[in-house]
Amino acid sequence: MAVKSAIVLEKKDSTAYITFNRPEKRNALTYEDYEDFRDTVLELEKDDNIRVVVLTGEGDRFFSAGDDLTEHPGADDINQWAAVENIPELITQTHPGPAGWTVFWEWDKVTICALNGGCFLPEIVYFSDFVIAAENATIAQTEVWAGLIPGGGGTQVLPRLVGVRRALEICLLSENMSAEEAYRVGLVNKVVPLSELKTATEELVQKVLSQPPLSIQFCKKAILKAPDLSLEDGLMLERVLCNSLSQTEDFAARMKAFVNKEPTPKPIGR
């Protein structure tokens, strides 16, 4: 197990577990924590042995409260803003957080978000491939309430997931969304009692690991590319990827097992 500030990384076989471990602060993350999170994700990106990454929060109340607001200039004294030089430059600097979770749509691994409580860092949910939420979990995009707009991809990814009208409602009203409502609008795959969250997550991990890795990678690539392509180009990409998979050992082994009515073989990865 590796511990980096509030970021705890544990690897078990083909699965990596990232836990936001700052329960006394509702798992809120400092700038340093975001940097460590980004570095952890980039480290995992290079690890070919890891096929699934699970993210969750420590405790049973918060997945993450998002930014540690005490770090923001002016959090304790509005006059502190006057002491900050080059504010436009600071505003345009890249925050390390998005550099971590945007990788989830780019890499070949499967990312599972296990929401154990309140989530005020919803972009991680948006970029994850699967989301399982405990019944007590909530999701909120609160930047507009604070006088900002989402800065981690919310205005760009959320409309792709739930549609423009629903995305406007979520962002403009800054309201807490229950786990059931998140499930209803398609942000969550499954809602379970908190006591069953770990078991449900592990069941999903094993289902993913039972599938041929290349099929997982290519299918994810085709689906996530779809919004950026014309239907014609998307269908072409799908056909090219499908045809290339027909040459793999996994396809041959599984078709042979199916024809011979044998048990499904374990993934080969080739």
Q: What is the DSSP string of 135-184?
A: TT-EE---TTTTTS---SSHHHHHHHHH-HHHHHHHHHH---EEHHHHHH
Residue 123 CA to residue 154 CA, distance in Å, equals 6
Per-residue pLDDT of the chain (270 residues; tens, 9 = 90+): 666 679 999 999 999 999 999 999 999 999 899 999 999 999 999 999 999 999 999 999 999 998 887 766 554 554 444 444 554 554 455 677 787 899 999 999 999 999 999 999 999 999 999 999 999 999 999 999 988 899 898 999 999 999 999 999 999 999 999 999 999 999 999 999 999 999 999 999 999 999 999 999 999 999 999 989 999 999 999 999 999 999 998 889 988 888 998 889 898 888
Residue 172: closest CA among 204, 141, 136: 141
Per DSSP, the residues of 103-136 read: GGGTSSSEEEEEE-SEES-HHHHHHSSEEEEETT
pLDDT at residue 269, as a whole number: 84
Which pLDDT score, from 0 to 100, does residue 68 have? 83
Angle between helices 213-225 and 249-259 (to 10 degrees): 110
Whether the CB-CB separation of 131 and 187 falls below 8 Å is answered with yes
pTM of the model: 0.88
pLDDT value of position 138 = 97
Q: Kindly state the DSSP code that residue 244 receives in the 8-state scheme.
A: H
Where do the domains of the chain lie, and which CATH numbers do they carry? 2-209 (3.90.226.10), 213-259 (1.10.12)
Please say whether the beta carbons of 237 and 218 come within 8 A. Answer: no
Whole-Å CA distances, 260 to 251, 253, 266, 267: 14, 11, 16, 18
Measured distance CA(48)–CA(176) in Å, rounded: 37
